[in-house]
Structure 1
Amino acid sequence: MPVHRPRPSRGRRLAALGSLLAAFSLLLTLPSAAADTPPRGSAYLGMGVADHDGEHGTPVPGDATQTEGVDVSSHQGNVAWPTLWSSGVKWAYVKATEGTYYTNPYFAQQYNGSYNVGMIRGAYHFATPDTTSGAAQADYFVDHGGGWSRDGKTLPGALDIEWNPYGASCYGKTQSQMVSWIRDFLTTYKARTGRDAVIYTATSWWTECTGNYGGFAGANPLWVARYASTVGTLPAGWPYYTMWQYTSSGPTVGDHDKFNGALDRVVALANG
């Protein structure tokens, strides 16, 4: 025999509907971690600098003469290299790879285009130490544009190691694990190319995530990121920087850099 339950009153039904609508509205206003996380492959040099690093530290002087450069990724698309050359930019770094899952679709236009206007250029790799080993990523980098040739126009590859745009700043690694991962990448890159890779980083990230490790300074040139009027305190071990990314709001291409020396020093780094 069916059981007949009393139907809720119209007032109760309206109250329940109002509660559901209020809960739904609250959910719409809550921040979404997934929505705030950029898609894999979208990272680039200095992606976290503006958010994490400010003006601090003791200024470190550079050479009196510096040479202007830029760095680009897929975010810049097809780059107007003749315009940059005419403005005084003489060297460039181009994103080639990220992790072992991404290659820059604009790499050929950017890498060859900078070379064709007369620039000295190199390729960089955005590291994701939480996805695969340093050795695997170095191999992937070399196999997809990160190699080196003794032509006087090709800079050694650069390892972009900085804040994780997809999760925890240090990629879930301890300081000693991070140092080991970086060493794994650098050792493999040198074995493949014969060159010591450039290290791109920011002092605050390097201090937090490697414990301010100074063991790479003897072999690997430093490319430091700091958007300020001075480069500030450098990571441990490096007495000077080789390159400095000083702004993300330059003309034509946002990311501009200074090479710590005249153009002949850029050529010297290219030649090894």
Structure 2
Amino acid sequence: MRTLISIVAIVAGMSPAPASAAPLPEGSADHFAGSQILKHERTVHLRTAGDPPTDGKVPGMDVSSHQGDVDWQSSWRKGARFAYVKATEGTTYRNPKFTQQYNGSYDVGMIRGAYHFALPDRSDGVKQANFFVRNGGGWSPDGKTLPPALDMEYNPYGDTCYKMDQAAMTTWVKAFSDTVFARTKRYPMIYTSTNWWNRCVGGSVKFGNTNPLWIAQYNSRLGPLPQGFDFHTIWQWQAAGLFPGDQNLFNGKFEQLRRIAAS
């Protein structure tokens, strides 16, 4: 009967339903910081004419395996001074281009850091934090390594909030954050969008007291910040542009960026 239904569906021009509801594998070159925000919010923050103000800001970028081998010298010559590189997703995926991207950015003089694409419904925050730290998400006070970063955004595999309420999601983020701190002595940068965070996490815990904010808003003007944050450290303002990957601005001068990397 299943075969007959599939044949009828194909003849009718429809895709037959999958035979199994087994979870999809973790990790994809298409899952990077902002990939799901761009899909869900592309009409929310339409860019106005012109670029955001850059006075007193430092330009940077973020990449994943989606970009492949990056020409870091070219990005340096064009003005990029920092980079975030996707390291992991869930508890099984590791970016196959991580070494080229993470070490390559460092070698040309950039201040760089690693980020983790969270899948809160697959495993708890402690397990994902440990997997991340073991596979590139560490930190050292060398003045060239940014705090590890946690990418919290729309679920690429299903329900927007991973079928979790705000209390459960807050607990997950705090467990991840506390575990990273325990292992690296740095609280992770939190990457997110205002819309997703306010809907799925909320403001019951003021994460801005401990965690720097990396905000995604594709506009020439920065809008409201997520609940629990009064200040942003990095603004991902464009999904493509001068540098490979996403375009970012550090909210301060280069000396301040180096201080964040050093302590």
TM-score by length of 2: 0.87
Counterpart in the other structure of 1:148: 139
* Aligned CA distance change for structure 1 residues 148 and 270 (closer, same or farther; 3 Å): same
**C-alpha displacement at 1:50, in angstroms?**
1.7
Could you report, residue by residue, the CA deviation over 1:194-239 in whole angstroms, capped at 9, with x for unpaired residues? 0111000000000110134451011100000011111211012322
Are residue 92 (structure 1) and residue 77 (structure 2) matched?
Answer: no
**C-alpha displacement at 1:179, in angstroms?**
0.2
Are residue 192 (structure 1) and residue 183 (structure 2) matched?
Answer: yes
Contact 2:78 2:242 in 1 (8 A): no
Which amino acid in 1 is paired with 2:70?
V
**C-alpha displacement at 1:30, in angstroms?**
4.7
Are residue 132 (structure 1) and residue 108 (structure 2) matched?
Answer: no
Are residue 267 (structure 1) and residue 255 (structure 2) matched?
Answer: no
**C-alpha displacement at 1:105, in angstroms?**
0.6
Counterpart in the other structure of 2:33: 45
- Pairs within 5 Å for 1:1-272: 24-26=10-12, 28-30=13-15, 40-42=26-28, 43-53=31-41, 54-55=44-45, 64-272=55-263
1:129 and 1:121 map into 2 onto residues whose CA distance is: 25
**C-alpha displacement at 1:146, in angstroms?**
0.4
Where structure 2 has 5 or more consecutive residues not aligned to the other structure, the ranges are 1-5, 47-51
RMSD, aligned α-carbons: 2.2
**C-alpha displacement at 1:32, in angstroms?**
6.6
What is the number of residues matched between the two proteins? 246
**C-alpha displacement at 1:192, in angstroms?**
0.3
Question: Which of structures 1 and 2 has the bigger CA Rg?
Answer: 1
SS in 1 for 2:83: strand
SS in 1 for 2:103: helix
SS in 1 for 2:207: coil
1:253 and 1:118 map into 2 onto residues whose CA distance is: 17
* Aligned CA distance change for structure 1 residues 105 and 24 (closer, same or farther; 3 Å): closer
Where structure 1 has 5 or more consecutive residues not aligned to the other structure, the ranges are 1-19
**C-alpha displacement at 1:136, in angstroms?**
0.6
State the percentage of identical aligned residues. 48
